[in-house]
Structure 1
Amino acid sequence: MTRPGRTHTTEVVYRLYETVDELTTVIENARSVPMSSSCMVPRDHVLDLLDDLRESLPEDVQAAGAIVEQRTEILQQAQAEAERLTTQTREEAERLLEAARRQRDEVLGAARRQRDEVLAQAQADTEQLLLEAESEAEVLLADGRHRREAMIAEALGEHERLITETEVYRTAVDRADELGARAHADAARMRAEVDEYVDTRLADFGTALERMLRSVEKARTTLRE
């Protein structure tokens, strides 16, 4: 037993084939156009055949056609949305890029200003340090000159003192030599005087001793008589 749906589908297919065959016959029997590969067909008849062909299409095919048309519309809408998003994205990217450029310019400007300020401050600090260094150098040079002059004066004073002390030493040495010579002379003189005194005293003692001996001898002689 044949199912009703399948029978309807078979009839639709037969009708499609018949319409296609008739359309093929019309085109094959059409009058040729001279000097070309085209042909002349009866427009109304061909359009009627195409209408029959369209009406003979199954509902699934018609639904598929509607889906294709809907797909085309969806694709067109998607294409339009994609173009809109692309344009919007491009505009947003350009806006962000422009904002980034402005921010970059602002950052670079601030960096340049800060660099100029730092360089100016460094230049001012350098000049101040140079002035302070020059002032300190002048103070050190003045102090060095003062110390040098003081050392020279002290050295000259020490030199004069040493010369003076040397002269005093020489004078003292000469005086000591003179006093030593005098002491030696006085000692020799005193030694001579002492020797002379002792010799005189011994001579006197010898004379007295001789007198005493003579007296003793005389007394002995008297005693013996």
Structure 2
Amino acid sequence: MTEVVYRLYETVDELTTVIENARSVPMSSSCMVPRDHLLDLLDDLRESLPEDVQAAGAIVEQRTEILQQAQAEAERLTGRTRGESDQLLNSARRQRDELLGTARRQRDELLAEAQAQAEELLADAEVEADRLIAEGRAQREALIAEAVLEHERLITETEVYRGAVSRADELGAQTAADVARMRAEVDEYVDSRLADFGTTLERMLRSVEKARTTLREP
């Protein structure tokens, strides 16, 4: 292990020396180095690496390959997902269009049904309004006719009342005249009867006086 480490340090030192002694490129920080010599040194360095480091390098290479495979699988899945997403999107769009079409048809059907119901209700309302108007007119005519009859009855009753009052006045006047006439007749009758009674009474008094006179004679 110590020899391997020594060989690694030796190769690294040689690489450092080659780079430090390399000729500079004018007007830049680059330098010109012998390619073949550096590649040989790198090969020696790679061969001098411990087995653990080489195994780690293999793992790194495998990791890179695994990452590449994972990247490819991810891209494949991404493409598949995009395809499925496009299919789902297209299916969703078709379903949306179908739902919109169904909704529009249902909307049109509901609008037509509502329009028909509105027209039917309007027709019923017009018929009911005509019936109510006719009924109101009939009731108005009946009330007017009843009012006219009541007015005529009141006028008739007023005329009858006036006639009755006039007749009562006439009867009252006639009764008063009859009473006055009857009173006069009664007074005349009583007076004549009293006169007759007075005459009779005078005759009786004369007869009594005559009888008394006869009784006084001797």
Correspondence for 1:176? 168
Q: How many residues were matched structurally?
A: 216
The 5 Å alignment of 1:55-70 reads 55-70=47-62
Match of 1:216 among 196, 200, 208: 208
Correspondence for 2:147? 155
CA gap of 1:218–1:95, structure 2 versus 1, over 3 A, is: same
Are residues 1:41 and 2:3 paired?
A: no
Match of 1:207 among 184, 194, 199: 199
**Structure 2: which amino acid aligns with 1:168?**
V
CA gap of 1:32–1:168, structure 2 versus 1, over 3 A, is: closer
Between the aligned partners of 2:35 and 2:181, the Cα distance in structure 1 is 190
Between the aligned partners of 1:42 and 1:157, the Cα distance in structure 2 is 141
Between the aligned partners of 2:137 and 2:206, the Cα distance in structure 1 is 99
TM-score (norm 1): 0.83
Q: Deviation of residue 104 (structure 1)?
A: 2.6
Are residues 1:110 and 2:102 paired?
A: yes
Correspondence for 2:68? 76
Identity %: 80
Q: Deviation of residue 124 (structure 1)?
A: 1.4
CA gap of 1:76–1:203, structure 2 versus 1, over 3 A, is: same
Are residues 1:197 and 2:206 paired?
A: no
Correspondence for 1:165? 157
Between the aligned partners of 2:207 and 2:26, the Cα distance in structure 1 is 221
- Is the 8 Å Cα contact of residues 32 and 40 (structure 1) preserved in structure 2? no
Between the aligned partners of 1:34 and 1:206, the Cα distance in structure 2 is 202
- Is the 8 Å Cα contact of residues 16 and 57 (structure 1) preserved in structure 2? yes
Match of 2:91 among 87, 90, 99: 99
Which residues of structure 1 form unaligned runs of 5+? 1-8
Which residues of structure 2 form unaligned runs of 5+? none
CA gap of 1:146–1:70, structure 2 versus 1, over 3 A, is: same
Q: 118-127 or 48-57: which moved more?
A: 48-57
- Is the 8 Å Cα contact of residues 27 and 41 (structure 1) preserved in structure 2? no
CA gap of 1:210–1:111, structure 2 versus 1, over 3 A, is: same
Q: Deviation of residue 130 (structure 1)?
A: 1.3
Q: Deviation of residue 33 (structure 1)?
A: 7.6
Correspondence for 1:131? 123
Correspondence for 1:89? 81
Q: Deviation of residue 205 (structure 1)?
A: 0.9
